[in-house]
Structure 1
Amino acid sequence: MGFARRLTSANRCLIGTWLKIPALEPIEILADAGFDYIVIDQEHAPLTLEFAYQATVAAQGAGLSVLVRVPDRSGSHLQRLLDSGVDGILVPRVTTVAEATSSVRQMLFSPGGDRGLGTTSRAGRWGGLPRSEYLRFGDEEVLRAVQLEERAAVERAEEILDVPGLNGVFLGMGDLGLSSGLPASDPSIQKLVDFLLSVARSRGIPAGTAVQTPEQAREAADRGYSYVMVSNDTSLLRSAATSAVAGFHGS
């Protein structure tokens, strides 16, 4: 089942985390811990296309859905990642309808988009998947999400979320704070969050975000987010390591 369909059929908020360490062992640990999905972070970690492919195979084999946050809006990675069989894509720093449209079209097959046919790729089960099923899965079950991270972009949410073929949105609170110069707790920022969630809900588009703690994740779920990333593999390792050393020293 593709991630887009998982989101609509789960009846709960799905929990994931960012993958930043270029190794397969963290993936098995995260799967055993019970995460629903991972997000391979090519924007803020030195993760190559080859590693993303290997990580996708390992993660899906362990029962995880796989999203990839691509490095930028250029679209240079989209075709190959989709051919690798990923369950969804997050395109960072989208600010306009034109940028969202360009990104989404590269992830949709013709006539709705410009994605090339690759039935002999892993996404097509090496040519073993019927062409109709390959096309259906790519257009109906792969998550095509844009990240709205600037105040002006969130304010344009109604226009951006009306882009044909867009079926996911991610709110980047960190960069929203930078672009606005305001803390997340500021009433005007919270009003923007409510606005985005309302726009997404009215269009049936799952909204996601990233948080640091399980408590924040539960709050996000209660607020109406459909998927949430909690921390990341490096921070989880750092927290456990710091706690172990502090415990040894009695502090």
Structure 2
Amino acid sequence: MKNYRNPLRQKLAQGKTAFGLWVTLATATMTELAIEAGLDWVCIDMEHGATDYRDIVEHARAARGSDLAVLVRVPSIAIDSIKRCLDLGADGIVVPLVRSARDVEAALDFARYPLAGKRGLGGERAQRWGLRVEEYIATANDEIMVIPMIETADAAAAIDEIFAVPGLDFAFVGPGDLSASLGHIGAWEGPGVAETIAQIVASAGAANITLGTYGVGPNDIRSRCEQGFRFLAIGSDAAMLANRIGSELSSIRNLMPALGRQIA
């Protein structure tokens, strides 16, 4: 095993735009499909989804040997969940509900080995069950991605302080939750939220922070790319499956009357 390298970090360092899939379903088949579709990363959602640590292992195994990165949105800013996801083979963590620079500092601290941080040294899957510890720890602090989600009004108000945290390279903007936090729950980008996002993008550019976000369709993704976002989720697995099933079923039902068939 060569020293650990993060495929998503490498692509972004090369100036590429990377596309990913938000994964809420436990089955690692979704990660296999993401690889076959040509995506660059997946984010396994432990904050809202039903996935657990066993599922993280299976998704990471499905990605082994590919150049697809496996990120995990941890349930909270806590050392136990962060270190366990990384030990199980995640290439990075997405940190929900960040409100301050202190939150970001804590997440970075939990994700890095001493002396840079407080991550405990385990002999788990990431370290090839203890057989490749030295190779992994030689580069893990530099390669692991810690990605705070900018999805609260507090984070937006403190954005310059957040982006000034030493060691922070990435952030992910969540338009829906940011809208809710600014008083527009249920709206993807409520009144004034576009201006707030523009301010976040400007601050990121000044601080050399690479931004990601979630898109809702090709036109939205194109717009986000034009704004400067570099890694983008094209959708979530369950929502995309449900939309495709619904679209197919609607088309089939529309054909039935022409055949003289009654439908339920």
TM superposition score normalised by structure 1: 0.91
Deviations 1:171-216 (A, max 9, x none): 1111111111245253x32222122112222222211111221221
CA distance in 2, matches of 1:153, 1:130: 36
Q: Tell me if the contact between 2:153 and 2:182 (Cα under 8 Å) persists in the aligned partners.
A: yes
Larger radius of gyration, structure 1 or 2?
2
Specify whether residues 6 and 129 from structure 1 end up closer, same or farther in structure 2 by C-alpha distance, changes over 3 A only: farther
Deviation at 1:220, TM superposition (A): 0.9
Please say if 1:43 is aligned against 2:47: yes
CA distance in 1, matches of 2:128, 2:23: 25
Q: Which position in structure 2 is the counterpart of 1:86? A: 90
Please say if 1:125 is aligned against 2:154: no
Q: Which position in structure 1 is the counterpart of 2:143? A: 141
Unaligned runs of 5+ in 2: 256-264
Q: Which position in structure 2 is the counterpart of 1:5? A: 10
**Amino acid across the alignment from 2:36:** D
Q: Tell me if the contact between 1:154 and 1:196 (Cα under 8 Å) persists in the aligned partners.
A: yes
**Amino acid across the alignment from 2:172:** F
CA distance in 2, matches of 1:53, 1:114: 23
Q: Which position in structure 2 is the counterpart of 1:169? A: 171
CA distance in 2, matches of 1:199, 1:128: 42
Runs of 4+ in 1 over 4 A off after TM superposition: none
**Amino acid across the alignment from 1:122:** R
Secondary structure in 1 matching 2:48:
coil
Deviations 1:134-159 (A, max 9, x none): 22421111111111111221121111
Q: Which position in structure 1 is the counterpart of 2:152? A: 150
Deviation at 1:6, TM superposition (A): 2.5
Q: Which position in structure 1 is the counterpart of 2:119? A: 115
Q: Equivalent pairs: percent with the same residue?
A: 28
Aligned length: 247
Q: Tell me if the contact between 1:109 and 1:139 (Cα under 8 Å) persists in the aligned partners.
A: yes
Deviations 1:6-44 (A, max 9, x none): 3222x2321101111111222222221111111000111
Q: Which position in structure 1 is the counterpart of 2:58? A: 54
TM superposition score normalised by structure 2: 0.87
Unaligned runs of 5+ in 1: none
Q: Which position in structure 2 is the counterpart of 1:22? A: 26
Deviations 1:111-167 (A, max 9, x none): 11111123x322223344362x42242111111111111122112111112222222
Between 1 and 2, higher relative CO (CA 8 Å, sep ≥ 6) is seen in 1
**Amino acid across the alignment from 2:158:** R
Secondary structure in 2 matching 1:165:
coil
CA distance in 2, matches of 1:20, 1:190: 27
